[in-house]
Amino acid sequence: MEPARKETPSHEPDKSKKSKQPNKKQKPKRYMSKGWKEGLSGYLFMSPTIFTIGVFVVIPILYAFYLSFNDVQLLGGIGYEFIGLENYTRTFDDSRALIALKNTAEYVLIVVPVQTCLALLLAAALNSNIRGKNAFRIIFFLPTVTSSAVLTIIFMWMYNPDGLINSFLKFLSLPTYNWLADPDIALKSIMIMNIWATAPFFMVIYLAAMQDISDSVYEAATIDGANWWQKFIFITVPILKPVTFFVVVMGVIGTFQLFDQSYIFSGGSGGPNNSTLTVVLLIYQYAFKSLDMGYASALAVVLAFIIMIVTIIQKKFFGEEKLHD
C-alpha cells in the first residue's frame, strides 16, 4: 500500500515537467536496497532485546524445565540427578504448596476485581469536569511512586495491635483486629494494603485512555439527555475494553507474583501459621533457603502455566484488539 501511495499522487505531476531519468533510476534502487536495509536495521534495533531475553529469559525457561526434572545438588559445583516427574508429583503431597496455592488464588480473586473497579471509578471521577484535578492526581499517585518495602513497613506499623488503625476503630467503637498476627486476618491485611497501593497505578492508565476518547463521542449522548452514569456505562466502559484487558492481565500477573509484602510482613516465613504464604514466597524458600532448586523450579513452572492459562482465557474473553497491527 505505502509505496503505491507515494508513487502515484506525488510524483506523477512532476514527471511531465522534469526529466524522467532521476525518478526512474531512484525508484528501483531504493526498493531493492530497502528490504535489505530494513531487515538489517530491524535486527540492529532488536539486538539488545534479543540478547537479554535470550540469555535471561529463553535459556532460563528451558533450563527451568531441565531443573524441574532433576534432583539438583548445590554443594561445590552443581550436580543433577534425573528423577522424571517426581518434583511435580511431590507438589500434591506438599501441604504447604497447597496452602500457598489456596492463599494466592484467594488473593487474586479478591484483589484484581476490586482494584480494577476502583481504578476505573477513580479515573472516571477524575476525568469529569472538576476542579483540583492535578492535586487529586498527585496525591492518588503517591503509593505508586513509593517503594513496596516502605509501604509494607508503614502499614505494619499502622496495623500494630495498638497502632493507628486499631485506635481509629476503637474511636468509632468498631471491633479491632490483630492485623499482623491473626492467621485469619493477616492475608486480608495485605490485600487491603495492596489494593490501596496499586489501584491508583491502574487509574492513571484508565485516565490516559479516557482522555483519548474525543468529546464528539459524548456529544450525541448529551443531546439525547444521557446522564453521567449512563455515558460512563454505555460509552466509556465499552470503549475502554482493550484497556480493561490490559489492566486485568497486569493485575492478575502482579497479584499472582505477590512476594515483597508477604516476605516483609512475615519476615520471610509466610506466617502466622502459613496464612501469608504465597506461591512465590514458597518457591523462594525452597530455592534459596532449602537449596532445593529442582523442586522450586517445578513449582515455578506450575506457576508459569497457571498464569499463562489465565492470561489466555482472559484474552479470549476480552477479545484480541491489542494483538492486531
Of residues 72-91, which lie at the interface with other proteins (CB under 8 A)?
78
How many of the chain's residues bind other proteins (CB under 8 A)? Answer: 100
Q: Are 244 and 233 in contact (CB under 8 A)?
A: no
- In the bound state with other proteins, the residue whose beta carbon lies nearer, of 125 and 185, is 125
Pick 19 or 227: Cβ nearer other proteins? 227
HEC string of the chain?
CHHHHHHHHHHHHHHHHCCCHHHHHHHHHHHHHHHHHHHHHHHHHHHHHHHHHHHHHHHHHHHHHHHHCEEEECCCCCEEEECCCHHHHHHHHCHHHHHHHHHHHHHHHHHHHHHHHHHHHHHHHHHCCCCCHHHHHHHHHHHHHCCHHHHHHHHHHHHCCCCHHHHHHHHCCCCCCCCCCCCCCHHHHHHHHHHHHHHHHHHHHHHHHHHHCCHHHHHHHHHCCCCHHHHHHHHHHHHCHHHHHHHHHHHHHHHHCCCHHHHHHHCCCCCCCCCCCCHHHHHHHHHHHCCCHHHHHHHHHHHHHHHHHHHHHHHHHHCCHHHCC
Q: Which of 75, 130, 172, 223 binds other proteins (CB under 8 A)?
A: 130
Kindly give, in sequence order, each residue whose CB lies less than 8 Å from that of residue 109, ignoring residues fewer than 6 positions away.
none
Looking at residues 166 to 205 of the shown chain, list those that interact with other proteins (rule: CB under 8 A): 167, 196, 200, 204-205
CB of 289 to other proteins, least distance (A): 11
With respect to other proteins, which residue has the nearer C-beta, 78 or 98?
78
56 scored as a contact of other proteins (CB under 8 A): yes
Query: Smallest distance from the beta carbon of 81 to other proteins, in angstroms?
Result: 16
Q: Is 122 in the site for other proteins (CB under 8 A)?
A: yes
Q: Does 121 bind other proteins (CB under 8 A)?
A: yes
Identify which of residues 30 and 184 has a Cβ nearer to other proteins in the complex.
Answer: 30
Of the listed pieces 14-22, 93-101, 182-190, 277-285, which binds other proteins according to CB under 8 A?
277-285
Site for other proteins in 218-237 (CB under 8 A): 227-229
Q: Which of 1, 4, 75, 145 binds other proteins (CB under 8 A)?
A: 145
Kindly identify the residues of this chain, within the stretch 199-218, that bind other proteins according to CB under 8 A: 200, 204-205, 207-209, 211-214
Q: How far is the CB of 309 from other proteins (least distance, A)?
A: 10
Site for other proteins in 241-270 (CB under 8 A): 250, 253, 256-257, 259-260, 263-264, 267
Residue 280 CA to residue 268 CA, distance in Å, equals: 11
Cβ 98 to other proteins, closest distance in Å? 18
Query: Which of 52, 89, 273, 290 forms a contact with other proteins (CB under 8 A)?
Result: 52
Q: Which is nearer to other proteins, 167 or 273 (CB)?
A: 167
Q: Which is nearer to other proteins, 184 or 308 (CB)?
A: 308
Per-residue HEC secondary structure of 23-79 comes to: HHHHHHHHHHHHHHHHHHHHHHHHHHHHHHHHHHHHHHHHHHHHHHCEEEECCCCCE
Closer residue to other proteins (CB): 89 or 211 = 211
Which residue from 1, 4, 172, 323 is in contact with other proteins, where contact means CB under 8 A? 323
| 114 is a contact residue toward other proteins (CB under 8 A) | no
Q: Quick check: 161 and 178 in contact, CB under 8 A?
A: yes
Determine, following the binding rule CB under 8 A, whether residue 100 of this chain makes contact with other proteins. no
What's the min distance (Å) between Cβ of 113 and other proteins? 18
